[in-house]
Structure formats: C-alpha cells, structure tokens
Amino acid sequence: MGSGASVSEEPRLDTLEAREAEPGDTWTSTPAGGSNDTLQADLKEGKAESHTVDVQSVKSDGGTSKEMEEEEEEEAAQPVVDPAVTETAAEGEEVSLHFESFLHENGTLYSCFSHHGNRVYVDESQKLQPFPKEWYNQGHFIATRSKGSGQLQTHGSSQPTVWEDDRTGSIYVQGRGTVMTYMFVERVNICRFWDPESGLWLLLPLQWEMNAEFVKARVQRVTSALPGLVDQKEITAALRQCNYDPDEVISVYHTMFGDILLQASPGGNHNYPDLNSFRALLERDRVIEDLKQTLQTKEKEVDNLFQRNSHLVREVRYLTDVVQHLNQKLAELEADKQELWEKIRSLLNRRASPAPPAKPVIKPAALADIKNHLGQFEGPLGKLAQVEQEATSEVEKLRSLYRKEAVERKSVYNKLLELQGNIRVFCRCRKSSASSCLEKIDDQEVVVVQKGSRKKFQFDKVYSPSSTQEAMFAGTLPVITSCVDGYNVCILVYGQTGSGKTYTMMGSKENPGVNIRSVRELLRICSEKEKVSYTLKISMLEIYNETLNDLLAKSGGASLDIRVLGKSVSVPGLTRVEVRTEADILAVMEMGEKNWKIASTKMNIQSSRSHLVVALEVEGSDEVSGLTSRGTLTLCDLAGSERISKTEAEGQRLVEAAAINKSLTALGQVFSALKCNAIHVPFRNSKLTHLLQPCLSGDAKCCMFVNVSPDAKDAVETEHAAVRLHHTAGGARQSDAERHAGEKQKRQVDVSGTGSLWTFLGDNNNNNNNNNVQ
Ligand SMILES: Nc1ncnc2c1ncn2[C@@H]1O[C@H](COP(=O)(O)OP(=O)(O)OP(=O)(O)O)[C@@H](O)[C@H]1O
C-alpha cells in the first residue's frame, strides 16, 4: 500500500474544478509513454478495479490548516529526497499506485504517480506525461511529517495526502474502483473525492456521496431519529443543504411533517408519495400566496398607471391649450413684427428722401420784436385762463346744484304723492238714461239706493256720470310726472261688464281716455326737459286664464313666462317697440288692440274676459347732471268683475270667470298685505299681481278707477262693489291728517291710501252694512 502524499496539496483545492463528476464519466487522460500505456491498459481492462489506494494517515488528531501550513514550511526546508519508486507489482499481484506532488522551481505544482516503476505527471491539459528526468534537479517532491511519529512520509506513494479523521473515507465506484473521499471545509462542508486521473478533488455525485462514511453515519443518525424518513438519497441531499448537520435535518423534517416521521412506515413502505403531495400542496399554497401578492402589486401598479395616465391626459390637454395660446401669441408677434418692419422701411425711405427746404433765417431784431409782442399778450392770456377756470368751477357748481335740485324736486314731488297715497281709488259712475240707483253726496262720497235702503261709500274721489274724460285724467295727472321722474306708475280700471272701463281707459278718437291722455302728457313732460334725452318703449299683453299672450308679436300671440331677477320682474320674449311720437304710440296700441280682438274671436270669447296690460317704459338720461332714470307707465284694463252666480256661467265661461275671480282676489290679497305691512305680500298668487308687483310695491304709484253702473238693474253689482269699500267709508280708513301725522312708516302711508281697494277686492263676502245712511 502506498503512503499518503503531503497535505500541502490542500492549497490546490482552491483551484479545484467545481465540477461534480458523474457516475458515467470516462477518463480522458492519455498516457504518453509505454508505462502510461500499461496504466491506461490496466484501467481499460478493469484492472484498476483491483487497485487499492492506500490512504496513509499522516494526521490523526485533526490538525488545523494553519498547523499544516507551518509543517509545510518546515518540510520545504528539508533536503529533497529521491522519490524513486521501489515497489513493483507482479502479475496477479495487487497493484499499487503512488501519488505524489512535485513542486517545480518555476512554482508549478504537479500531481504525479508511479506505476510499475514508471513515474508520470499530469500536465496542464490533464494528460499523463512521462516525468522528465531533468526535473529531479528542478524541483522537489512534497511530503509531510507524521505529526505523531515525526517521520517524514515517503514520497514514493503518490497519494493525495489528507489527515485521517472522520472526514476521510473511501467509496467503491463501479467502473472506477475505490476512490478516496474527504469532507473539506470551504465556507461550508463539501464532500469531494480524489480523482487520480486529473489529480484533482472533484465534487461527489449524490449517488456516490450516500456511500461515503462521513455521510453514511449522518444519514444513519437521521434515520434513527426519524424512522419514517427512509429515503437515504433525500436525507443525503438534505444533509448537503444543512451543512451535514444531522440535527438540523431532523429539526427541519420534524417541523415540516410533524410526528408522523417518528414512527417507521408500516411494512417499511415509503410514505414519500403522501409526504411529497403534502409538500407539493404546501408549495402550491406558498406559490398561490406569492401569486396573490404579485397580483395585488400589479393591480396597484395598474391603478397607479391609470392615475398617471389620467394625469398625463390632463397635462396634455393643458399643454395643448398652452401651445395653442403660444401659437396665437406668436402669430400676433409676427404681425407686430411685420408692421414694425413696414414702419422702419417707410422711415428709412423718408430719410432717403431729399432734405426739407431750409428754414427762413429770422433776423435777431425781428425776433426780439416778436418776443415783445408775445410778452404783451402774456397778461391777458393768464387772465383769460383764470376766467376760464372760474367759469368751469362755476359751471361745476351749477351742475352740482342742478343735480341736487333735480333730486330734491323728485324727492319732494314723490313725498307729496306719498302723502296723497301711493295707491289711490276713484269711483266713476257711468252715464245712464235709466233710473239711477246712485246719489252723489260730495266729491268723496256716494250713496247706493237699493230696495229702499241707502248705503254711503267713500273714495279718494267720486266722479259723477257727467264727469268728462279730462276730469278723469286730471286725477291721474300727478303720477305721470312721477313716471318721468323714474317711478313705476300704474293705472287700473275695474268694474262689471258695461260699466265703462274701456270708455275710461281708451275713450274714443275724438274723446280719448286716460291712456292716450297719459301718453300725451308723458311726451309733453319729456319734450319740456331739453337737457334730458328719453327713450320710450311700449309693450302690450293680455292675461287670459292665467296665460300671458304677447299682443305685439309678429308671429301671433305666443304665451310667455314671468321671470324675477332680484327686485325686477320681466317677461322674456315680450315684444317691446321703441316709439318717439304720439302717432307711433297710437299706431302700436291700435295694432295691439286689433290683435287682442282677433285672439279673442279665435278663442270665441269677449275681449273683456281677459286683462289688457299696456306698458310704456321711459328711460331718461340727464346730460347736465349725468343722472339717469327709468320708470314704467302701466295701463291695465281689467276683465269684468261680475260674480259667477250672476252670470250663471258654465263650461269655458266658468273657467274664464274662475280665472278672473282668482286674479282679482289675488289683487285684493296683495293690497291687504300691503295695508297690514305684512312681511310677505302674496304677489305670486296670480299672473296679474306677479306682473304688477313693481307697480304696487316700493315707491310705485297706482291709480285705480272703480267703474260702477247707475242703472237700477245693476244696483246689486254696484252695491256689491261699493259694499266692499265699506271699511273705508265706515272710518277704518285714516284721515288725511292722521296719515300725515303718522308718517312713521312709508308703507303705512302707502296702504292707507289703498284702504278702499283692498277692502273692495279682498273681502268679497263682507256684507256688514253698518254704513247705512240714517
Ligand atoms: N261716462 C260715459 N259717458 C258716455 N258713455 C259711456 C260712459 N261710460 C260708458 N259709456 C258707454 O257705455 C258702453 C259700455 O262701456 P264700455 O265698453 O266702456 O264698458 P266696459 O266696462 O269696458 O265693458 P266691457 O267689460 O264689456 O268691455 C259704451 O258704449 C260706452 O261708450
């Protein structure tokens, strides 16, 4: 048996191929000499199977690598011993191979071995070459001293030198014979086998490793602890993973599979299929969990990408806008540039043109003369500027005074009207040849005689049947001025059919009514004010069954809506015609009335079954004061106020009557609320009151004519209307003196003047007859 080689081989382990030899690997080394051929032949013939490798234990106490290095250094100092091979092998005898390491003086370490007295070495290409004789003087064989004996190990046996301990072992490999194994420590434990062919320590295949003593012992330990675990290959693989620590392998398996492995499988059957499927399930769960987490991450990424995408879309939009804006700006700048270029060109051309003729030379004497003359003008010019300045400030003062006066005049005039009552009610008795049921007592009182009873009623003014149209208009005259001053003014006529409403409002061509006269007066006042320019616009509509119809619309009376914006009430879409003269106004009104009648005929109704509203907007602009004013004159011919019971209306007529009654009742409710100074005034209870809201609230002025028929046959209706005025006549109405004294609140003064109206319109069922004339 050969002796072991020096452990100084170990540094070469660092350069070992990290290759795990496969059981089927073939030896590719080709010996060069005949002796090598012999060796090769032996190997090929399978004689190598009979070769024995004697692993000489040169270290039994497990020395550290450091100690080994130290020994190596000592060895290096020793004289070179001739490593002649002495052993021979006879035919049929056991063949010995002697492994050696030769360190050439050029620093190369060669693996060598002897066979039948022939020494060969492994060259760089891993081929066997005859050992050159001259090398004996160019290097030395490396051997080591046995630690225990202090004997130098022979170099004749060229074996890999390792210390014999439990890490050392040997295995028999089919086709290769017995190979030496050793468990090296390279960060972790790694089991290698000595490959004499290559002279390298190669990684062991798992199949081989299972048979290594070092591994076998540990596999045995695991199996004894976990009898249920019987697959030695698996245990070997697990040992590799756990750095050949059997306790760790036991712990891992026990943790994974529990007590099931503590007992041997019945009949020695492997339960690996079950365990493997269990393991596969665990693995699958783990994979599923990983996939879920990946999915969540991906979903988050998708969300983020979506958000990012929408953000980018917005950004792109914004940038597109910016680019457009910049392009526009650029175009403008280009245009400016062009323009400037044009200017520069024209200036250059001008410069190029011939110089202007030289100025006439003025003699110094003449210049002094001119200066003297100019000096004479300086004084008067200064005075003139001063005068002009004074005049300007005077004009400004006058303008301010004028403005103040104009405002004051309007204010005083308005107060005067307020004292009379913002809403005034007049009673007009129609002419009649029949026996009369009315007796006029004085300018403010009237008596209704019916079935022997005499009842007295009071109004702001009572007009007898003989009263003229002029007299009627005189009652409304003050409010026309108010309209020109910028206040809203409204004139209404109320009464039963045939009581003279239209006569009062329209009159005839020869003897016009309130509306024409009001318009004329309005135009007259406007024309008087030279420094104020006025714009007049007229509109006409009817309210029938709570529907607004435009009477000036060219395409027929379209129904309209009322729109409220702040305090203003408007009718969008209503035709408004600008007029300048009386003729203009009359022409427009004529057209409106015509349309009113046509519409009434179409609907098979009498025109008096709807309310007619004519509005004249007056807008003034004072050139001197700079003040502007805007007022509206509204002329309203209300529908007949007959009681439904009297007309015995049915069908369409009943609907009309109900609509009329509703709007007139709403009008009464508005006046009641105004009288009580109520917080809420129900203007929106009907289209009529809603439309008239600007004429009935605030500083607006209203004149109401109550037309009554003196005919005995109309006595009931006449009394009915008059009875409604009962509270006014009976003393509920404040006297003028009281009203003047009680001017605490304008609203109170306003409604005091409307006492007759709200009672008259709002309290249909009040038949208290305490106003009987004694
Ligand atoms: N004060 C008056 N002087 C002379 N004639 C009058 C007077 N009042 C009314 N009449 C005449 O009485 C008739 C009816 O008057 P008017 O048409 O004005 O009534 P109405 O109340 O408008 O009726 P309707 O509601 O049907 O329109 C007319 O012929 C009108 O000329």
Map out the domains of the chain as residue ranges. Answer: 7-13+25-204, 205-268, 271-321, 407-762
Closest CA to 193 of 241, 236, 160: 160
**What SS3 class is residue 446?**
strand
Angle between helices 652-675 and 687-696 (to 10 degrees): 30
Pocket test for ligand 1, best of 473, 502, 544, 593 (most atoms within 8 A of CB): 502
Ligand 1 atom index nearest CA of 467: 1
Task: Please give the number of the atom of ligand 1 that sits closest to the Cα of 504.
Answer: 18
Confidence grade of residue 724 (pLDDT, cut at 50, 70, 90): low
Ligand 1 centroid–CA 498 distance in Å is 5
Show Cβ contacts of residue 600 under 8 Å, excluding neighbours closer than 6 positions: 606, 607, 609, 610
Q: Tokens 């306790």 appear where?
A: 247
How many residues in the chain? 774
- Which atom in ligand 1 lies closest to the alpha carbon of residue 465? 1
Residue 45: pLDDT above 70? no
Rounded to the nearest integer, the mean pLDDT of the chain is 72
For position 554, what pLDDT does the model report?
Answer: 81
What is the DSSP secondary-structure string of 550-608? ESS-TT---EE--EEETTEEE-TT---EEE-SHHHHHHHHHHHHHHHHHHHHHTT--GG
Look up residue 253 and give its two tokens: 């398996």
CA distance 395 to 385: 15
pLDDT at 269: 53
Nearest to 35 by CA among 118, 112, 127, 99: 118
pLDDT of residue 5: 31
The answer to whether the CB of 605 is under 6 A from ligand 1 is no
* Among protein residues, the one whose CA lies closest to atom 15 of ligand 1: 500
Distances (CA, A) of 72 to 114, 141, 142, 254, 632: 23, 12, 8, 45, 128
> Does the beta carbon of 501 sit less than 6 angstroms from any atom of ligand 1?
yes
Give the tens place of pLDDT for each residue, 177-218.
Answer: 777 788 877 777 888 888 877 777 888 888 888 888 889 999
* Structure-block tokens of residue 447: 């008596």
Atom of ligand 1 nearest to the CA of 495: 21
Ligand 1 pocket mutation, candidates 428, 429, 430, criterion most atoms within 8 A of CB: 430
Ligand 1 pocket member 597 (CB < 6 A): no
User: What local confidence, expressed as pLDDT, does residue 397 receive?
Assistant: 75
Res 529 pLDDT > 50: yes
Give the gyration radius of the chain's Cα atoms: 66
Coil, helix or strand at residue 207: helix
Q: What is the rounded CA–CA span in Å between residue 193 and residue 180?
A: 5
Instruction: Give me ligand 1 centre to Cα 499, in Å.
Output: 6
Q: Between 518 and 263, whose confidence is greater?
A: 518
Q: Is residue 220 very low, low, confident or very high in pLDDT (cuts 50, 70, 90)?
A: very high
Query: Can you give the pLDDT at residue 745?
Result: 35
C-alpha 434 – ligand 1 centre gap (Å): 15
Over 90: is that where the pLDDT of 491 sits? Answer: yes
pLDDT (0 to 100) of residue 647: 57
Contact 33 CB / ligand 1 (< 6 Å) = no
| Residue owning tokens 């005067």 | 416
Q: pLDDT by residue (tens digit) across 52-70? A: 233 333 233 333 334 434 4
Kindly provide the ipTM of the predicted complex, given to two decimals: 0.96
Residues pairing with 145 in the sheet: 152
CA–centroid distance, residue 590 to ligand 1 (Å): 18
Q: How many percent of the chain have pLDDT more than 90?
A: 13
Tell me how far the alpha carbon of residue 516 is from its chain's centroid: 60
* Ligand 1 contact, 499 CB (< 6 A): yes
Residues 6 or more apart whose Cβ sits within 8 Å of residue 47: 41, 95
Q: Which residue's CA is minimally distant from atom 14 of ligand 1?
A: 498
CA of 515 to the centre of ligand 1 (A): 15
If you take atom 8 of ligand 1, which residue's CA is the nearest one? 500
Ligand 1 and 500: CB distance under 6 A: yes
Q: Are the beta carbons of 459 and 446 closer than 8 angstroms?
A: yes
- Band (pLDDT 50/70/90 cuts) for residue 165 is low
Helix, strand, coil share of the chain (percent; to 5)? 45, 20, 35
Q: How far from 256 is each of 218, 252, 261, 283, 595, CA to CA, in Å?
A: 19, 6, 10, 12, 103
Region of residue 427 (phi > 0: left; psi between -120 and 50: alpha; otherwise: beta) = beta
Q: Verify whether ligand 1 is closer than 6 Å to residue 641 (CB atom).
A: no
Mean pLDDT of 581-595: 89
Average of per-residue pLDDT across 330-359: 78
- Predicted local distance difference test score (pLDDT) of residue 736: 36
C-alpha of residue 501 to centroid of ligand 1, in Å: 6
Q: Which CATH superfamily is domain 407-762 in?
A: Kinesin motor domain (3.40.850.10)
pLDDT tens by residue, 665-715: 888 788 778 777 788 889 999 999 999 999 888 888 888 898 888 888 888
Mean per-residue pLDDT, 16-38: 34
Does the Cβ of 545 fall within 6 Å of ligand 1?
no
- C-beta of 430 in contact with ligand 1 (< 6 A): yes
Residue whose CA is at the smallest distance from ligand 1 atom 27: 608
Q: Is 497 in the pocket of ligand 1 (CB under 6 A)?
A: yes
Is residue 577 exposed (0-12), middle (13-18) or buried (19+ Cβ within 10 Å)?
A: middle
| Ligand 1 centroid to residue 633 C-alpha, Å | 23
Verify whether ligand 1 is closer than 6 Å to residue 35 (CB atom): no
Q: State if residue 144 touches ligand 1 by the CB under 6 angstroms criterion.
A: no
Please tell me if the CB atom of residue 498 comes closer than 6 angstroms to any atom of ligand 1. Answer: yes
